[in-house]
């Protein structure tokens, strides 16, 4: 059980918590936050492989995480704006009710 394995198990746990939350909750904000958790889990993986991976000569993993954080920030901004728009439209933010695009 190397540190890499531990880190990966940690990220697995965080990812699955985020996934379960995103699947289970009906509040859109919480779904979005679950997704953020999954993103963080991915970042943890990057850092783990950067630090303990087989070929860790470069800083590419680090770079990925930085960009990922930036993208996550953008995602959060857009997602929350969408939530506000949905709320204005249907007076609540229950994800189950936002089914206007169904086939």
Q: Which of residues 44-63 bind another protein (CB under 8 A)?
A: 44, 47-48, 50-54, 56-59, 62-63
Shortest Cβ 92–another protein spacing (Å): 6
Cβ within 8 Å of residue 26, ≥6 positions away: 94, 95, 96
Shortest Cβ 63–another protein spacing (Å): 5
| Contact indicator for 18, 35 with CB cutoff of 8 Å | yes
Neighbours of 66 (CB within 10 A): 13
Shortest Cβ 45–another protein spacing (Å): 10
Q: Is 90 in the site for another protein (CB under 8 A)?
A: no
């Amino acid at each position: 059980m190397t540190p890499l394995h531990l880190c990966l198990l940690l990220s697995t746990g965080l990812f699955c918590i985020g996934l379960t939350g995103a699947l289970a909750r009906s509040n859109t904000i919480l779904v979005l936050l679950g997704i953020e958790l999954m993103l963080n889990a991915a970042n943890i993986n990057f850092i783990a492989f950067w630090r303990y991976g087989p070929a860790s000569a470069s800083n590419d993993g680090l770079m990925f995480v930085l960009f990922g954080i930036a993208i996550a920030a953008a995602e959060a901004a857009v997602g929350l704006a969408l939530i506000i728009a949905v709320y204005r439209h249907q007076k609540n933010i229950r994800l189950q009710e936002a089914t206007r695009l169904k086939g």
